[in-house]
């Protein structure tokens, strides 16, 4: 219908290519207004993530200007008020979004949809940030999976769409014709952040899949060597794409299109695609059980004794500063402070140390990570912490206690990772064997085993 105007409300899909919501917004010749709402809730994100979001939005604005001659429309405020008011202001027939499955996002979108409906407009959800959207991987009886391995098998069988084309004929109506408010001031993250935006994400991906990129000096690509090198934190063996997936500057189906994700091909491809499956799994768990964002997924373990007194706070401070005296724990925490990122193997080690050696609430560590990680994602972060704490999705979690010394010997054999971040000699703050026994005692009391 000629003259129709729509709003493309960007959220966690800050790219132009492979964006089905954007294509749907511009269907039938509609004039598309690209919008991002700077939500006051972002203030709780911490300076690192806010600074990176600033950079991603700047890159998106530049991309739109390069093809449309007009930029991203920015508005500040509560989206439940801003979006309906903007739709009224622009006489937009519909607002298009990628579906948000987070607890906050679902609540927000329900309110926006109701307000738009009251004025004869619609909120149209098209696509999601996931390869397989939450709620689509189910058992034969229609119930969700609570354990990853069976989930991942059905996830692969379910499959995903091919990447969508780059829009080349959209009619844009952006900030040259619509009032746009200023970008928020970029906070000082105190660290150097990775390059941000769609182009940077695609470049990172190409470096990961191109031959000769493996950190072991072979002619393999990093993805082909992934299963062998991904657990060695001193090497560049991972994709470094977690911040891009967080903000949707690249979509997982774009990655999967370049992989043999059948589970029968290259071991590296299979293991890397499993990491994308973990991301979808945790989003599905949070979708099914939104209260598990900050509460134990397994309420039977609510009675686990944790320490929260002044002594516990002092121990937490040592952990957060990387001063526990355990080299690989301290290296990970210092890497986080210095870069806004931590190797995934080390994330598991430092998380286990906090909950099993220091006996502190997993929520303390989860909040610290969300404040300091560039890639802080609620579902992946908090359910990863619950996996370490033994309160989450693992089938047999409670007796797993990582030994930081043997973990260092296994994954940092030459000591190069620890030496990079912890050059000084250290003295362990505790006896791991004794604290492991104490952790198992507390878990046995809570589980009655």
CB atoms closer than 10 angstroms to residue 99: 21
The response to whether 272 counts as a known ligand-binding position is yes
Cα 64 off chain centre by: 25
Residue 34: phi, psi to the nearest 5?
A: -80, 125
The response to whether 31 counts as a known ligand-binding position is no
Residues 6+ apart with CB under 8 A from 58: 183, 196, 197
The response to whether 74 counts as a known ligand-binding position is no
The response to whether 221 counts as a known ligand-binding position is no
The response to whether 268 counts as a known ligand-binding position is no
Q: How far is CA 79 from CA 175, 394, 397, in A?
A: 18, 36, 39
Alpha-carbon dihedral sign for residues 314, 361, 238, 21: negative
Count CA atoms closer than 13 A to 311's CA, side-chain side: 5
Q: Are 71 and 175 in contact (CB under 8 A)?
A: yes
The response to whether 276 counts as a known ligand-binding position is yes
The response to whether 226 counts as a known ligand-binding position is yes
Q: Could you give the 3-state DSSP secondary structure of residue 437?
A: helix
Distance, in Å, from the CA atom of 365 to the CA atom of 362, rounded to the nearest integer, reads: 5
Distance, in Å, from the CA atom of 6 to the CA atom of 361, rounded to the nearest integer, reads: 46
Buried b (16+ CB within 10 A) or exposed e, 225-262: bbbbbbbbbbbbbbbbbbbbbbbbbbbbbbbbeebebe
The response to whether 184 counts as a known ligand-binding position is no
> Residue 193: exposed, middle, or buried by beta-carbon count in 10 A (0-12, 13-18, 19+)?
middle
The response to whether 376 counts as a known ligand-binding position is yes
The response to whether 145 counts as a known ligand-binding position is no
Cα 447 off chain centre by: 31
The response to whether 219 counts as a known ligand-binding position is no
Query: Look-up: residue for tokens 């058992």?
Result: 139
Distance, in Å, from the CA atom of 323 to the CA atom of 351, rounded to the nearest integer, reads: 15
Q: Strand runs (DSSP E) across 162-207, as ranges?
A: 171-172
Query: Look-up: residue for tokens 């607002």?
Result: 95
Distance, in Å, from the CA atom of 268 to the CA atom of 356, rounded to the nearest integer, reads: 31
The response to whether 280 counts as a known ligand-binding position is yes
The response to whether 281 counts as a known ligand-binding position is yes
The response to whether 278 counts as a known ligand-binding position is yes
- Enumerate the known binding-site residues: 226, 238-242, 272, 275-282, 375-377
- Enumerate the known binding-site residues for FAD: 226, 238-242, 272, 275-282, 375-377
């Amino acid at each position: 219908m000629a003259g129709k105007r729509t709003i493309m409300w960007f959220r966690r899909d800050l790219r132009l290519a492979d964006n089905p919501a954007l294509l749907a917004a511009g269907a039938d010749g509609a004039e598309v207004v690209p919008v991002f709402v700077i939500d006051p809730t972002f203030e709780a994100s911490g300076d690192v993530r806010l600074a990176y979001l600033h950079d991603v939005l700047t890159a998106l604005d530049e991309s739109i200007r390069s093809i449309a001659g007009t930029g991203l429309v920015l508005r500040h405020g509560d989206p439940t008020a801003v979006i309906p008011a903007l739709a009224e202001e622009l006489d937009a027939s519909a607002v298009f979004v990628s579906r948000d499955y987070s607890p906050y996002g679902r609540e927000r979108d329900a309110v926006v949809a109701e307000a738009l409906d009251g004025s004869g407009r619609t909120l149209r959800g098209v696509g999601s940030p996931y390869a397989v959207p939450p709620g689509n991987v189910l058992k034969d009886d229609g119930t969700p999976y609570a354990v990853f391995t069976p989930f991942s098998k059905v996830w692969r069988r379910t499959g995903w769409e091919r990447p969508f084309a780059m829009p080349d004929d959209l009619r844009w109506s952006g900030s040259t014709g619509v009032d746009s408010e200023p970008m928020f001031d970029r906070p000082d993250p105190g660290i150097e952040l990775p390059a941000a935006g769609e182009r940077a994400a695609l470049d990172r991906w190409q470096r990961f899949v191109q031959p000769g990129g493996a950190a072991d000096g072979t002619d393999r690509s990093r993805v082909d060597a992934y299963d062998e090198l991904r657990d060695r934190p001193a090497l560049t063996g991972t994709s470094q794409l977690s911040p891009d997936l967080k903000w949707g500057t690249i979509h997982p189906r774009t990655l999967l299109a370049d992989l043999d994700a059948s589970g029968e091909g290259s071991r590296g491809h299979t293991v890397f695609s499993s990491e994308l499956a973990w991301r979808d799994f945790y989003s599905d768990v949070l979708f099914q059980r939104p209260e598990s964002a900050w509460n134990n997924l397994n309420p039977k373990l609510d009675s686990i004794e944790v320490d929260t007194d002044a002594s516990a706070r002092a121990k937490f401070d040592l952990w957060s500063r990387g001063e526990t005296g355990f080299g690989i724990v301290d290296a990970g925490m210092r890497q986080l402070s210095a870069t806004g990122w931590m190797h995934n193997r080390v994330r598991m080690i430092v998380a286990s140390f906090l909950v099993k050696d220091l006996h502190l609430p997993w929520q303390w560590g989860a909040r610290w990570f969300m404040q300091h990680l560039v890639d802080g994602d609620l579902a992946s972060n908090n359910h990863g912490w619950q996996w370490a704490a033994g309160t989450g999705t693992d089938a047999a979690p409670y007796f797993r206690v990582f030994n930081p010394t043997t973990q260092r010997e296994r994954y940092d054999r030459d000591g190069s990772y620890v030496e990079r971040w912890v050059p000084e000699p250290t003295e362990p703050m505790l006896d791991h064997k004794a604290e492991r026994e104490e952790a198992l005692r507390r878990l046995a009391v809570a589980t009655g085993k």
